[in-house]
Structure formats: structure tokens, C-alpha cells
Amino acid sequence: MKKQFAVCVFGGLNLIAFNPCIAQTFPTRPIRLVVPFPPGGALDVLGRIVAAQVEKQIGQPVVIDNRGGANGVIGSEIVAKSAPDGYTLMNNGAALLVAQILNPALPFDIEKDFTPITSIGHGTGYMFAVNASSPAKSVQEFVAMARNAATPISYGSAGVGNPNHLAPALFAARAGIDATHVPYRGTAPSINALMSGEVQFNFSSPPAILPQVKSGRLRILAFTGVTRSAALPNVPTMIEAGVKGYVFDGGFVGWHAPSGTPASVIRKLQTEVQKALRLTVIREAIEIGGYLPGGEAPEEFGKFIRTQMSIFQAAVKVANLEKQ
């Protein structure tokens, strides 16, 4: 016993290096999981599903802290500047990458200030939605309506420079139509705007938009994935609907920690998320949400993020998002 205690004291002298004592004891108190967007969006929904299960596994609360604002920048900055001890984490996604591309002067750097833990899920695509009262019953009818409109049609998103801003902007560029972007403070407010008629279309993940589709308030014209969505198998993909070459998978949802968090803590967290994702009920919830369960090792997740960054950089150029 004395020998083990001595090893732990020595390990405590190096907080950044691998520390077996931290791995054995972490966590000893509640974990704060910052979601840098308001409640109701895919990030929030999927983050809560996994956090609830991880909480059961580790025996400590995982408290969701929604810190929306500035397209996720406010909440992300909070995590970037938090103590690297594993007790403040971030549940974020592709919006973080697009924000970095459009604004290199952010108060943090994705690669320098965050350590990837693992992904919760990889997106399969977005739903292209219009108000149920819209005369457009197909993508081609919508394009024709947009081209004949006296003024540019508008679309809502969760903010400037995120995937559900980039996806419709890319669609407008591919389809050759004029469309005005109207940013909101989250996915849920942008969908409410579509239902109220403030905007004419929206691209959002299945879990955020399907309840309004089932209630008859919205209509789905297409799905942006490579294949049709399992949630709405009768809805065509964008390519099937006639938009040549258009595929947008919706990015990912994953956990990050502040840079400098001990490797043993990162591995512990990744293991717990991976364990949660093995449960059928969790996997099914994620798949219904339009994502494929993740759980990969931190190194693999980091490599995936770098690949996604390159993909979004190319999409931003096609959509001329830098000029909007």
C-alpha cells in the first residue's frame, strides 16, 4: 500500500504526462459538458442522450450547460480557457470547423486549444424542409419558384458559418438561385422561423426537424446524404431530386477537452462514450437522429476532424460563403 501511494505522489508532480493515478480515480466529482448552442438542436439532443448513459457508468453527474451565442464561439471559448482536468468538456460538431474557416481570428484555435476525445456520431445528411403551405412539392418545383420570385427567397440557420448555413448556401450555388441567409441563435429558432413563414426553407438534421414534419407543419423535399434517410425512405436524395453532384453529410457530433488534459483522462472518457455507444438503445437513438454511431480513438477522431476541415474549406469556396 505504501509503495502504491508513493507512485501516486510522484505521478502528481507531472499533471500533463500520463498519470495512472488520475486514470484510477477520475472522475471524483460532476463533469460539466458545455453545448455551445441552445437546447433542441441535434448537438444538444445527441449530447444529452450519450451524457445520460455515461453518467450512469461513471457514477458522477454529467451536467449539460447550454451556452449558445456567436455561432458556438462563446461556449467553445469557455471550454478552451477551462482547467485541463477533464471536468469541463465540450460537445460540439462541424460548426466549430466552419467557424474557424470563416474567421481565423477566433479567440481560440481548434488544433491548439482543444484535445479530441471521440465522436458521438457522424452525420448522414440534412433534411431540406419547406413550410407545409409552400406550393413546391419537389426540389425542381422549388427551384422554379425561387427563380421566378420577385425578390430572393430566404433560408434560416443556427447562425453565420455553420453546416446548416453552408448546406443551403451550397444548394443555392449548385441550383443557380438567389437566396438570402437569415441567421438565428440556434437550430430550434430557425425551424420556428420556417413554420411561421419568416423564411422559405431550411436544411436541418432529422432529429431537429422530424417532429414538425410529423405534426404536418413542414414538408421535406429531399435528403442531402449519399443514400436516402432511414427515417423517411420515400424522400429522394438531392441527387435523385435533380441537383447534380450535391451531397452534404452534415458533419459530426463529438466531445473535446481543453488542450493539456491528461492522456489518461482523455482515454477514460473515450472508453466510457464508446461503451455507451455499444448499447442498442443508444445506437438506435443516434441512427434515428440521422447519424452513424462513432466512438473511435482520440487519435482517429483528430485525423477525421482534419479531413473534415479540408472538405468544408472546399465547400465554403463553392458556396462563396466568405463573401456573405
Choose the weakest-confidence range: 1-10, 118-127, 231-240: 1-10
Distance CA 1, CA 102 (A): 55
Grid cell for residue 234: 420515400
Domain 2-123+252-303: which CATH number of 3.40.50.300, 3.30.70.2740, 3.40.640.10, 3.40.190.150: 3.40.190.150
Q: How far apart are CA 321 and CA 6, in angstroms?
A: 57
DSSP string, 63-91: EEEE---GGGHHHHHHHHTS-SSSSEEEE
Which carries the bigger pLDDT value, residue 188 or residue 5? Answer: 188
| pLDDT 10s digits, 134-192 | 999 999 999 999 999 999 999 999 888 788 899 999 999 999 999 999 999 888 899 99
Q: Please count the other Cβ atoms lying within 10 Å of the Cβ belonging to residue 322.
A: 10
Predicted confidence band of residue 322 (pLDDT cuts 50, 70, 90): low
Report pLDDT for 4.
Answer: 40
**Residues 39-66 pLDDT 10s:** 887 889 899 999 999 999 999 999 999 9
Q: Which residue has the higher pLDDT, 251 or 74?
A: 74
pLDDT band at 318 (very low <50, low <70, confident <90, very high): confident
- The DSSP-derived string for 153-165 is EEEEESSSSSHHH
pLDDT beyond 60 at 221:
yes
Q: How far is CA 247 from CA 53, 142, 166, in A?
A: 32, 18, 12
Distance CA 130, CA 213 (A): 10
Task: Provide CATH 3.40.190.150 ranges for the chain.
Answer: 2-123+252-303
What 3-state class would DSSP assign to 215?
Answer: coil
Question: What is the reported pLDDT for 6?
Answer: 36
**Is the link from the previous residue into 27 a cis peptide, with omega within 30 of 0?**
yes
| Alpha carbon distance 266, 91 (integer Å) | 14
CATH number of 127-223: 3.40.190.10
Distances (CA, A) of 261 to 26, 108, 250, 296: 12, 16, 28, 18
Portion of the chain with pLDDT greater than 90, in percent = 67
Q: Where in the chain is the domain with CATH 3.40.190.10?
A: 127-223
Could you tell me the pTM of the whole model? 0.76
Q: Which class for 5: exposed (0-12), middle (13-18), buried (19 or more C-beta within 10 A)?
A: exposed
Find the range with the poorest average confidence among 20-34, 63-77, 187-201, 272-286: 20-34
Q: Are 146 and 173 in contact (CB under 8 A)?
A: no
Side-chain half-sphere exposure of 24, counting CA atoms within 13 A: 9
Q: What is the average pLDDT across 64-83? A: 93
- The reported pLDDT for the residue numbered 3 is 40
What per-residue confidence (pLDDT) applies to 208? Answer: 84
- For residues 177 and 184, is the Cβ–Cβ distance under 8 A? no
Q: What is the arithmetic mean of pLDDT over 301-309?
A: 93
Most confident region among 81-90, 149-158, 226-235 by mean pLDDT = 81-90
Average pLDDT of the segment spanning 216-228: 95
Average model confidence (pLDDT) across the chain: 89
